Amino acid sequence: MGLPKLPKVSDPGLDETAKMLTPQRIEEVINRVIQKETAARLKVYMNTCVHCGLCSDACHWFLSNDRDPRFSPVGKVKQTLWEILRKKGRVDPDFLKECSRIAHTECNVCRRCSMYCPFGIDIAYLLLLVRRICSLLGLVPQFLQDTVNSHAVTLNQMWVKQDEWIDTLQWQEEDARDEVKTARIPLDKEGAEVFYSIIGPEPKILAQLIANMAQIMTVGGVDWTMPSLDGWDNSNMAMYSGDFETMGRVERVHHEAALRLKCRRIVMGECGHAFRGAMYDGPKWLGWKEPPIPLIHAIDFYHELLTSGRIKIKQKFEEPVTVQDPCNVVRGRGLGGKLREIVRMTCANFTEPEPGLEHNYCCGAGGGTINCGPPWKPSRVKGNRVKAEQFEATGAHIIITPCHNCHSGIEDIVAGYNLGMHVKFFSEILVQVMDVPEDLQA
Amino acid sequence: MYDLISRYLVWIAFAVFVFGMAYQFINLVIQAKRDKVIFPYMTWKHSFRSLLHWIVPFASKNMRIRYETTIVTFFFHLCVVLVPIFLTAHVVMFSFAWGPSWSSLSASVTEWITILVLLALVFFLLRRLMLPEVRFVTYPSDYVLLAVAAAPFVTGFIARHQWFDYETMVLIHMIAGAIMLMAIPFTRLSHMLFFPFTRAYMGSEFGAVRNARDW
């Protein structure tokens, strides 16, 4: 069709591992996955899709790449799964490298396209299936695979060692006490009302968020705890690489840590993919219909604290703000309404993004895509021009997003398109505007 | 020849259609049980909620964005089912053979609907050829399917106007109709059967599990 050539990106995770593949192994793995791990969904989706292309307008990659058909949801399935099935698994390593590029780095499995397909075909599921095949063949972008290796070895995403974890918590407890003098981070407290879990990058690179939470919990008078041992990290990159065995292990440890401490429920920090893993993908893989103990996302928790009056607002945040609806908790949990409520309760000047709520565009970073690392950053930023245009139209200065992937992804978009905006987690706003009672003030 | 086709082919076509659909449906249920994550999450409420938003024109956002496709596709799907059932000649043949009869569309109405159905098919063809995102995912089989859907209408139209040899044309028309009927269960035309189920599952996934809307 005379489409321009896409820039070549080198990634040892694909280039080097592809050299080790044999035709027999490729065929064996593909057919094993198709026969043993798929059933009605794959079969029916394949028979039902009439190749109408109506899912295209859903995809930020397609829209941002000037409607290049290679980036439409069905276009991505055509270039990967249709070919794999048509050739009954007899495909070559170079083709599979392209499959990984498409499925791992050019699709955020955000599921927006499922809302645009007239049949409701779960296109993200089909691309996750491609990832699964690639992962079993060892074809995963190197940076993403490194996080998976970390999960497998340390049960956290960022190679955080045991002593580093405890040390970071002590350091953040001290920092929190500079603001709220009785702030504590209770470890391993049996029977606590709230088991609070976070993602690996928090202790590694965004530790101040832990101190924020210690302040919020203290002011809100919440009976909470964090685990001293494995299970504190609720993130799960294995879910996105296609290494579902590791995904299952990570989720089991997370839930069991909360069960061991006999906590009433798990409150998860501000992260979307972590919520997806703990709430849906992990339990499904483990054969649980639902998580074994109640589990809520930070948005729900903040909403409770604010509406119940446990936390009061001193003075609203004045700068103009907008929100980035994280796919996994808005399209994935319907928390868009509550997100707006807590933003309106804390901010004086909120502008609604358009499109918003379930129809919001993905940040472009989710689905493990940002974890594919620097080699893939240029295409990721280019592939989300619509996001930049969407934010620019709001005229806001601050973008609030209760999700780590969104946070990092939007920062890249803001820088890439010179939007001059800042990205904040909701906890950063909340610690700024909440009323700290006088007896707690440091 | 005419006798043979009108007597037996229609039966074969209907048998293949009915048993083919039954086979696909049973297979769907068996496969859905194997998938394990389908039935536990399905609810009637969210299934119907989603279906409703996708069978009422413009009730979903994408139907509003792609309004031209929405108009054409609704008209096309409605007529492609109704015309064969309410065409006078079909009703007459049926009641001649078995007795029961029902009201039928007037000749001129059917005539116009047929023309519009064919124009809708031309629209689908042009969409395939002209929109890059559709052409990119088009296989030769997609054109064949369009032809399979068009054939009964084209041949019926020609026969009604008695443009060529009438009897031959009616024969071709009957064969074309039979091919389409038999193709439904075994090609992508099976979306006729699968649509409510894929929609219901996604509606439940979004509504019951994820507390979100899928339209």
Is B175 within the bounds of a domain? yes
Of A49, A74, A120, nearest to B214 by CB-CB distance is A120
Query: What does the domain layout of chain A look like in residue ranges?
Result: 12-140, 146-307, 321-433
Contact B133, A113 (CB under 8 A): no
Burial of B9 (0-12, 13-18, 19+ CB in 10 A): middle
* Residue reference for tokens 């031959």: B168
Is B207 within the bounds of a domain? no
CA A8 to centroid of chain Cα atoms: 26
Is B172 within the bounds of a domain? yes
Which residues in chain B have Cβ-Cβ distances shorter than 8 Å to A52? Answer: 69, 127, 134
Q: Indicate the DSSP class of residue A8.
A: P
As a residue count, chain A comes to 442
Q: Which residue of B has its CA nearest to A357?
A: B212
Using the beta-carbon criterion (under 8 Å), do B197 and A44 form an inter-chain contact? yes
Using the beta-carbon criterion (under 8 Å), do A48 and B215 form an inter-chain contact? no
Dihedral sign for Cα A337, A339, A343, A349, please: negative
**Cβ neighbours of residue B111 closer than 8 Å, sequence gap 6 or more:** B157, B160
In this model, does residue A1 exceed pLDDT 70? no
CA–CA separation, B52 vs B73, rounded Å?
16
User: Average pLDDT over chain B, rounded to whole?
Assistant: 91
CA–CA separation, A38 vs A244, rounded Å?
14
The SS3 call for residue A399 is: strand
Q: What's phi and psi for A95, nearest 5 deg?
A: -65, -40
**Cβ neighbours of residue A435 closer than 8 Å, sequence gap 6 or more:** A219, A311, A312, A313, A314
Element (H, E) at A93: helix A93-100
Is B62 within the bounds of a domain? yes
Q: How much helix, strand and coil, in percent to the nearest 5, is found in chain B?
A: 85, 0, 15
Is B157 within the bounds of a domain? yes
Q: Indicate the DSSP class of residue A196.
A: E
**What is residue A285's predicted lDDT score, i.e. its pLDDT?**
94
CA–CA separation, B204 vs B197, rounded Å?
10
Which residues in chain B have Cβ-Cβ distances shorter than 8 Å to A280? Answer: 209-210
**What is residue A67's predicted lDDT score, i.e. its pLDDT?**
96
Q: What is the mean pLDDT of residues A202-212?
A: 96
B14-24 in b/e burial notation, b at 16+ Cβ within 10 A?
eebbeebbeeb
Query: For A221, left (φ over 0), alpha (ψ -120 to 50), or beta?
Result: left
Report residue B7's pLDDT band, with 50, 70 and 90 as the boundaries.
confident
Using the beta-carbon criterion (under 8 Å), do B136 and A72 form an inter-chain contact? yes
At position A439, the amino acid (one-letter code) is D
Range of the domain at B139: 2-9+58-187
Q: pLDDT tens across A4-55, in order?
A: 999 999 999 999 999 999 999 999 999 999 999 999 999 999 999 999 999 9
In this model, does residue B6 exceed pLDDT 80? no
Contact B35, A40 (CB under 8 A): yes
Q: What is the largest CA-CA distance in chain B?
A: 60
Single out the residue of B110, B130, B122 nearest to residue B149, CA to CA: B122
The pair of three-digit structure tokens given for residue B173, joined into one six-digit string? 């028309």
Burial of A255 (0-12, 13-18, 19+ CB in 10 A): buried
**What is residue B90's predicted lDDT score, i.e. its pLDDT?**
83
User: Average pLDDT over chain A, rounded to whole?
Assistant: 96
Dihedral sign for Cα B147, B153, B159, B164, please: negative
Return the number of other C-beta atoms located less than 10 Å from residue B175's C-beta. Answer: 16
Q: Indicate the DSSP class of residue A398.
A: E
A422-424, strands of its sheet edge to edge: A321-323, A398-400, A422-424
Using the beta-carbon criterion (under 8 Å), do A75 and B31 form an inter-chain contact? no
Q: pLDDT tens across A293-321, in order?
A: 999 999 999 999 999 999 999 999 999 99
What stretches of A255-389 adopt beta strand conformation (E)?
Answer: 265-268, 295-297, 321-323
**Cβ neighbours of residue A345 closer than 8 Å, sequence gap 6 or more:** A306, A313
Single out the residue of B202, B193, B170 nearest to residue B93, CA to CA: B170
What's the structural domain count of chain B?
A: 1
Of B62, B199, B205, nearest to A116 by CB-CB distance is B62
Contact A320, A351 (CB under 8 A): yes
CA–CA separation, B83 vs B72, rounded Å?
16
Distance from CA of A306 to the nearest CA of B (A): 22
Q: What is the mean pLDDT of residues A90-107?
A: 96
Strand partners of residue A399: A322, A423
Q: What is the ipTM of this complex?
A: 0.93
**What is residue B85's predicted lDDT score, i.e. its pLDDT?**
85
Burial of A8 (0-12, 13-18, 19+ CB in 10 A): exposed
Distance from CA of A317 to the nearest CA of B (A): 29
Which residues in chain B have Cβ-Cβ distances shorter than 8 Å to A118? Answer: 54, 62-63, 195
Using the beta-carbon criterion (under 8 Å), do B137 and A114 form an inter-chain contact? no
In this model, does residue B3 exceed pLDDT 80? no
Q: pLDDT tens across B87-105, in order?
A: 877 888 878 877 877 878 8
Using the beta-carbon criterion (under 8 Å), do B37 and A332 form an inter-chain contact? no
N-to-C CA span, chain A: 66
Single out the residue of A190, A197, A189, A193 nearest to residue A165, CA to CA: A197
CA–CA separation, A193 vs A224, rounded Å?
6
CA–CA separation, B56 vs B92, rounded Å?
32
**What is residue B102's predicted lDDT score, i.e. its pLDDT?**
81
CA–CA separation, B178 vs A167, rounded Å?
75
Q: What is the mean pLDDT of residues A199-205?
A: 95
Q: pLDDT tens across A344-358, in order?
A: 999 999 999 999 999
CA–CA separation, A275 vs A255, rounded Å?
12
Q: What's phi and psi for A367, nearest 5 deg?
A: 70, 20
Query: For A420, left (φ over 0), alpha (ψ -120 to 50), or beta?
Result: left
Which of 2.60.40, 3.90.550, 3.40.50, 3.40.30 would CATH assign to domain A321-433? 3.40.50
Class of domain A12-140: mainly alpha
Q: What's phi and psi for A226, nearest 5 deg?
A: -130, 155
Using the beta-carbon criterion (under 8 Å), do B212 and A53 form an inter-chain contact? no
**Percent of chain A surpassing pLDDT 90:** 99
Q: pLDDT tens across B9-45, in order?
A: 888 999 999 999 999 999 999 999 999 899 999 999 9
Alpha helices in A141-271 (DSSP H): 142-154, 162-177, 201-205, 208-219, 238-241, 244-260
From residue A37, give the alpha-carbon distance in Å to each of A46, A285, B35. Answer: 15, 11, 8
Using the beta-carbon criterion (under 8 Å), do B135 and A45 form an inter-chain contact? no
Is B46 within the bounds of a domain? no
CA B74 to centroid of chain Cα atoms: 11
Report residue A179's pLDDT band, with 50, 70 and 90 as the boundaries.
very high
Query: For A331, left (φ over 0), alpha (ψ -120 to 50), or beta?
Result: alpha
Contact B184, B25 (CB under 8 A): no
Report residue B162's pLDDT band, with 50, 70 and 90 as the boundaries.
confident
